Amino acid sequence: MAMNLTPYLMMNDGKAKDAIAYYEKVLEGKVLFQQSFGEMPANPEFPLPEAAKDLVAHAMMQIGESTLMFSDTFPGQTVPQGGNVTICITIPTKEKAEQIFAALQDGGQVIMPFQETHFSPGYGIVTDKFGVPFQIFTESQQG
């Protein structure tokens, strides 16, 4: 089964756009996708603060044969310096993604429960028992 691991940089204080521009120049990266929180579908249960609308919700950059992903933290949230890198595991099936998520949460800590989102049939964030943060992302199944 195909599985892909990608570094994911979480930036405090709205620095994702600066980081994207920096790595685009320094590492000759090419931005493949970028979306702000304001461009995402609205969720009436969680109204979007004005301060978050222009922040980067998700971006993807191609650097050589590798991919690097980015996001700003949501207003009021921070990640410690040096702890802002997670590993995004991209998995083609929801069942396998759930299995890996469950295994990683054993002895670890769930940050965001595994669930369906507007961008994935199955997504969650977990820190494993070694303190390594993972984002588990199921690829969209298009029929």
**Six-digit token string for 77:** 């949230």
The CA distance from 91 to 50, in Å, is: 33
Mean pLDDT of the chain: 90
104 φ, ψ (degrees, to nearest 5): -70, -30
- Pairing mode of beta strands 85-91, 4-11: antiparallel
- The model's pLDDT over 113-126, given as tens digits with 9 standing for 90+, comes to 999 998 999 999 99
pLDDT at res. 97 = 95
- The model's pLDDT over 62-77, given as tens digits with 9 standing for 90+, comes to 998 899 999 999 888 8
> What average pLDDT score do residues 28-37 get?
95
pLDDT at res. 143 = 36
Q: Above 80 in pLDDT, residue 20?
A: yes
> What average pLDDT score do residues 71-93 get?
87
Using pLDDT thresholds of 50, 70 and 90, give the confidence band for residue 1.
low
